[in-house]
Amino acid sequence: MANILIINFPAEGHVNPSLGVTKAFAERGDNVYYISTEEYKDRIEGVGANVILHENVLKGAEIDTASPGASNSLLTIMLQTSLDILSITRELANDISFDFVYYDSFGAGELVRDYLQVPGFSSSASFLIPEEFMRNLPIHPDAGESLELNEHSQSILDTIKKEYGVFPKNMLQFMQNQGEKKIVYTSEYFQPRLNEFGEGYHFIGPSFPHRKGGNDFPIEQLDNERVLYISMGTILHNVEDFFNTCIDAFSDFPGKVVIATGARANFQKLKHAPDHFIIRRYIPQLDVLQHTNVFITHGGMNSVNEAIYHEVPMVVLPHDKDQPMVAARLSELHAGYAIFSNNVTKDMLQEAVHEVVHNQDYNHGIQKIKDSFLRCGGPSEALEIIDAHLERDN
């Protein structure tokens, strides 16, 4: 029985992919301590972990990814979150001797590992990112224009070093935490440009344990209906115009249209929708996907994996981060219809939905990716890899 500390970044696309491995640790009797935020407490406790809460400084943050200051804003959030997590870790370590840390690529993982001086294992919630792409980021040490920390970020960084004796090797570490082994929640088949990555990566595929958490969504209204599901993730701003375009495009859709707006949408800016629309801030996505015929998505890896698992054809409108890469890979494998445009019209949406519904190539493409997921070892393989590494070191 091990004492395991799990560190993650407080976002749907990072927490949800980790639940399968968390559940596997807990089910075999390990003591699992997961540092997260209130939004994810129920679902993490639902898979058997002890949850220790920190403030979610990402919630409510206004980050315009197209602005020059976006990297600095995100980095400040990363640094403050890391400082909060290190404070909690120090308190926990007074009473608990941790055997290892399991952490996401994003966030404080390596800092916590270095502070505790125990083995660390990292995981990737999305594709591995090629070096040429990472080199374009301002936080990359070899970027043409390196990022200069603002005064607040530098102060947090100085506090981390002074109080905890740890320091990132560079700012890229907060997006690319490494470990003794790297667990990747996808398959080798789905990973683009696989041959560019070396040893030490283990593709275990995604997993989808039941997510505990109450909701009042009328799932029974989707029974025996053709369902179009639309979600642009949970953290985008200024989504109202897009959803209004969707209302115009699918006002005559022969079935139900379900829209998950995310927490930031201003409902007063949304048009009045016909009765066959169900519009909510939060949707129980795994439940809805079981009824869905076509999914319009931003291309977040978590949503894409869940759609593939439920064999739902996708229209993908990538926004930022890894989403353009995910959309391009889906298009390459004939598993999704990608729209790379900042000016999406109702005609474009109607054409895309018609294409994926009536062209069976998309179903075949999705099935091939799903089959590759099913051939992966899943959470049990991750545990075997970690255990074998620890045994060799001992």
pLDDT number for residue 387: 97
pLDDT number for residue 145: 53
Common-topology check for domains 3-205+376-393 and 219-374: yes
pLDDT number for residue 148: 73
pLDDT number for residue 320: 77
Segments of the chain with pLDDT less than 50? 68
CB 4 within 8 A of CB 22: no
pLDDT number for residue 75: 87
* H or E segment and range at residue 253: none
Distance CA 335, CA 312 (A): 9
Distance CA 94, CA 222 (A): 51
| Structure letter (DSSP) for residue 171 | G
pLDDT number for residue 204: 98
Distance CA 382, CA 100 (A): 14
Is CATH 3.40.50.2000 correct for 3-205+376-393? yes
pLDDT number for residue 342: 84
Identify the CATH number of the domain defined by range 219-374. 3.40.50.2000
* Domains of the chain by residue range: 3-205+376-393, 219-374
CB 53 within 8 A of CB 8: no
* H or E segment and range at residue 100: strand 100-104
pLDDT number for residue 268: 92
